Amino acid sequence: MKKIIKTISILLVVIVLIIIGIAGYVKLALPNVGAAPIVTVPKTAAQVARGEYLANHVTICIDCHSTRDWSRFSGPPLEGTKGKGGELFDQKFGFPGAFYSKNITPAGISRYTDGELFRVITTGVTKEGKALFPVMPYHYYGRMDAEDIYSIIAYIRSLQPIQNEVPASSPDFPMGIIINTMPSKASLTKMPPETDVLNYGKYLVNAAACMECHTQFEKGKLVAGTEFGGGRVFPFPDGSIVRSGNISPDKATGTGSWSESTFLTLFRSRSDSATLTKKLQPGEFNSIMPWTMYGKMKEEDLKAIFAYLRTVTPINNKVVKFTPGNTKM
């Protein structure tokens, strides 16, 4: 009996040592995505203009890195907050911790080289070698064209500097260890020509990270098999709940019966001046999706996105898009 107890004790010690070793490796040796590239991004007018278009209407960096006005439909960024960061993404959104968007104005990124910015945008590893939780969808950005990432860098370098000290993010246990396994090396691609409509649309859907919000989300990650089927839950400050729409081509519950014109009209109507100026009452229908930003996308880009979405796997999932909260605020 003593021999059995001794054997079990040794095994337990070995297991504990292995766990400690693995945890130590993950904590100390990862993330390992390689050194930041040595690159100097040209700040030409064309480069900045391309970056402005991407950051405001495709990758919508400005959406998460500004303060959104939830008294208006789709929460457009408040004037004077562009890029200042500080938006909180925490447990109420299903995240395993409290994560804050960074200040991406020159006041917040001046210590970064262009190469270090390129690495953090495409791999999720900071200047100091720390891993970011993928609230910022760097796994998608890491599949973009390097030239587009350069353009985004050129644009955010041109923003008005805003002094804003952003709190440090704090992942829950054990995410504080697991987070180091999340970054991966970029798998950059060349942007297809606009004439290659389906592949160009696929490129834009990736750049806009459409799947990220239009897929169910549990325990800090997307639920496999629900891609583009909608239903991800987003709570509002007034207690209302909005759920992402099913944008798969399912004819009964998704966009399968939509025409291209219907798709375009929806984006345009939700980003017009009437929508932008209207003040909403607590409990009135709202949307987490930044329609007012996506709605300014080029028509050929929206058409390409629609064409590509017609090719993804249909998901039968009827979504109740909005549940009003407290209307007595």
DSSP β-ladder status, 233-235 and 88-89: unpaired
Report pLDDT for 5.
63
What are the per-10-residue average pLDDT scores of the chain (329 residues)?
63 54 47 91 96 98 95 92 95 90 97 98 96 95 98 98 96 91 95 98 98 91 95 87 96 97 94 82 88 95 98 97 72
pLDDT reported for residue 25: 43
Distance CA 160, CA 165 (A): 15
What per-residue string of b and e applies to 221-259 under the rule 16 or more CB within 10 Å gives b? ebeeebbbbbbbbbebebebebbbbbbbbbeebbbeebe
pLDDT value of position 94:
82
Q: What strand order describes the sheet that includes 97-100?
A: 88-89, 97-100, 170-171
Q: What is the pLDDT of residue 23?
A: 47
For residue 22, what pLDDT is reported? 47
3-state SS assignment for residue 99: strand
Cα–Cα–Cα angle for 251, 253, 254, rounded to 5 degrees: 70
- Return the domain boundaries, the chain: 34-190, 192-324
- The type of residue at 48 is V
